[in-house]
Chains A and B, each alone.
Chain A
Amino acid sequence: MTHISDDTCSEDAVLATRRENRVWKKFKSHRSAMIGGGLAAFFILIAVLAPILPVVEPTATDWFAVRKAPSLVHPFGTDEIGRDVLSRMVWGAQASLLAGVVSVAIAIGLGVPLGILAGYFSGWTDAIISRCTEALLAAPFLVLAIALAAFLGPSLTNAMIAIGISATPIFVRLTRGQVLSVKAEDYVESARAVGLPTHKILSRYILPNVLPPILVQATLSIATAIIAEASLSFLGLGQQAPAPSWGQMLNTAKNFLHQAPWMALWPGIAIFLVVLGFNLLGDGLRDALDPREK
Chain B
Amino acid sequence: MLAASSSSINSSLPVFSVADLNMRIAGSPTDLVENFSIDVFPGHTLCIVGESGCGKSISALALMGLLSPTEIDIRSGTIRFEGQEYPVSEAQNARHLRGDRLAMIFQEPMTSLNPAYKVGEQIAEAITCHHPFSSDEAKKRAIEMLAKVGIPAPAARFNEYPHQLSGGMRQRVMIAMALVNNPSLLIADEPTTALDVTIQAQIIELIRNLQKEANMGTIMITHDLGVVAKLATDVVVMYAGQIVEKGPVEAIFNDPQHPYTIGLLSSMPKLTGQRERLATIPGTVPTIQSMPSGCRFSSRCPFRAAICKEKPVARSFKNNHSVSCHFAPLDVILELSV
Contacts and interface: CB of A to CB of B under 8 A. Distances in A.
Interface of A: 8-9, 12, 15-16, 19, 122-123, 185-187, 189-197, 200, 204-205, 208-209
A100 to B, nearest CB: 28
Contacts of B153: 8
Given A192-B98, A193-B66, A194-B126, A187 B113 contact: yes
Contact of A190 (B106, B116, B156): B106
Interface of B: 64, 66, 70, 95-100, 103-104, 106, 108, 111-117, 125-126, 129-130, 153, 156, 159-161, 163-164, 174, 177-178
B129 A209 contact: no
Given A12-B159, A19-B163, A193 B103 contact: yes
A195 B115 contact: no
Contact of B98 (A19, A194, A204, A205): A194
Given A123-B70, A194-B125, A187 B111 contact: yes
A187 B96 contact: no
Given A8-B156, A12-B159, A209 B114 contact: yes
Contacts of A192: 66, 98
A186 B125 contact: no
B164 A189 contact: no
Nearest to A201: B114
A209 B111 CA distance: 13
Contact of A12 (B70, B97, B160): B160
Contact of B100 (A12, A185, A190, A195): A195
Given A9-B156, A190-B112, A190-B174, A197 B129 contact: yes
A8 B64 CA distance: 38
B56 to A, nearest CB: 16
A191 B97 CA distance: 13
Q: Sorted from nearest, which 5 A-B pairs have the closest CB atoms?
A: A195-B99, A208-B116, A194-B99, A195-B98, A186-B111
Contacts of A196: 99, 125-126, 129
A195 B91 CA distance: 12
Contact of B161 (A19, A186, A200): A19
19 contacts: A9-B156, A12-B160, A19-B164, A186-B108, A186-B111, A187-B114, A187-B115, A189-B106, A191-B114, A193-B103, A193-B104, A193-B106, A195-B98, A196-B99, A196-B125, A205-B114, A208-B114, A209-B114, A209-B116
Contacts of A193: 64, 66, 98-99, 103-104, 106, 178
A278 to B, nearest CB: 26
A187 B177 CA distance: 12
Nearest to A192: B66
| Most chain B CB inside 10 Å of its own CB: which residue of A186, A194, A204 | A194
A208 B106 CA distance: 22
A293 to B, nearest CB: 17
B66 A15 contact: no
